[in-house]
Structure 1
Amino acid sequence: MSDDKICVAAIAGAFGVRGEVRLKSFTAEPEAMADYGPLSTEDGGATYSVTLTRPVKGGFAARLTGVATKEQADDLKGTRLYTDRDALPNLPDDEYYHADLIGLDVFDTGGVKLGAVRAVHDYGAGDMLEVFGPGLKTTVLIPFTNACVPTVDLAGGRVVADPPEGLFPDE
């Protein structure tokens, strides 16, 4: 997967019998996924213009160009849809796209490597960085707040974390 593509939605299956799909949005403003131009599959093999028709439980019902039947919509279940990075808006200095954070090395304030960011989750109380690294049997979740993650250096490929005591072994 190229770094210039960002996943903005996934097809959760057919919606109805006339070729509509149910889309799950991965954008901050869920309906904005349709504003980023034609969306393509991960391999770039197919491109779809998206027209949102209505909100539904867990996402939106939408029409995709070239999808006219329930069977065609069913065949796309699980397909992730991507847009060009350039289509996304620029963010303020203290905000980041999840895709930019995944893979960054995580160091403590003393310069010791704690691991790398595997994922970013939001369980309703704010973003959490999922970190896995040396000496860990499972991943660790670090609150993505200024207090726990004072430095994000995208150019340097790292974040500096000051995690709550006891999250990592040998603290």
Structure 2
Amino acid sequence: MTDTRIIVGAIAGAFGVHGEVRIKSFCADPEAIGDYSPLTSEDGKTTYNLTLTRAIKNGFAADLEGVTTKEEADALKGVVLYAERDVLPSLPDDEYYHADLIGLTVLDTGGAVLGTVSNVLNHGAGDLLEVSGPALKASVLMPFTMAVVPTVDLASGRIIADPPEGLFE
């Protein structure tokens, strides 16, 4: 939880010929990305003042301050957008920003270290924690459900897991 920024979307290229961009929102409420402006690039050096103009297929069309041509908009394709954590809404006790879970140590219910969360994935059926570690031959994808992960302790930097039998063998 040391980073003060959270990924909220990405620029998918130009939309039209007047400098609008296509925005992919990674927010639970996709339209909320417009509320978090100004957004920054991954390195934090570039700031984007974003105004959503309309919903389009797979995202939104948006105006970025200072971008007036299709060529300028196309040049921004692939830029990942970050918002400051303090402008994002507080989450209920049982919900977490993915960025907060990455790097946490995963322990089993007996206290043995299983690995570290290296990524959080969602392929449509729910979140999966990708757990990596020196004792593992390959990363393990563990369901992020209350049954498998009963405890997330952000303050201590750990997760207590009760993985299905054989998952970590």
Q: Where does structure 2 lack aligned partners over 5 or more consecutive residues?
A: none
Instruction: Report percent identity of matched pairs.
Output: 68
Alignment-derived partner of residue 11 in structure 1: 11
Instruction: State the distance in 2 between where 1:8 and 1:105 align.
Output: 25
Q: Where does structure 1 lack aligned partners over 5 or more consecutive residues?
A: none
For residues 36-115 of structure 1, the aligned pairs below 5 Å read: 36-115=36-115
| The 10-residue stretch of structure 1 (99-108 or 126-135) with the greater mean CA deviation from structure 2 | 126-135
**Contact 1:114–1:134, Cα closer than 8 Å, also in 2:** no
How many equivalent residue pairs? 168
Alignment-derived partner of residue 33 in structure 2: 33
How far apart are 1:58 and its partner, in Å?
Answer: 2.1
**Contact 1:115–1:131, Cα closer than 8 Å, also in 2:** yes
1:160 is aligned to 2:145: no
Moved >6 Å (runs of 4+): none
Instruction: State the distance in 1 between where 2:37 and 2:79 align.
Output: 17
Alignment-derived partner of residue 123 in structure 1: 123
How far apart are 1:82 and its partner, in Å?
Answer: 1.0
Deviations along 1:21-64, one digit per CA (max 9) or x if unpaired, are: 11111111111111013111122222122111222222211111
For residues 142-153 of structure 1, the aligned pairs below 5 Å read: 142-153=142-153
Deviations along 1:98-154, one digit per CA (max 9) or x if unpaired, are: 110011111111111111111111221211111111332221111111100010000
Q: Secondary structure at the match of 1:118?
A: strand
**Contact 1:7–1:80, Cα closer than 8 Å, also in 2:** yes
Instruction: State the distance in 2 between where 1:20 and 1:149 align.
Output: 42
TM-score by length of 2: 0.94
Q: Secondary structure at the match of 1:148?
A: coil
Instruction: State the distance in 2 between where 1:76 and 1:16 align.
Output: 14
Alignment-derived partner of residue 21 in structure 2: 21
**Contact 1:39–1:81, Cα closer than 8 Å, also in 2:** yes
Cα RMSD (Å) of the superposition? 1.2
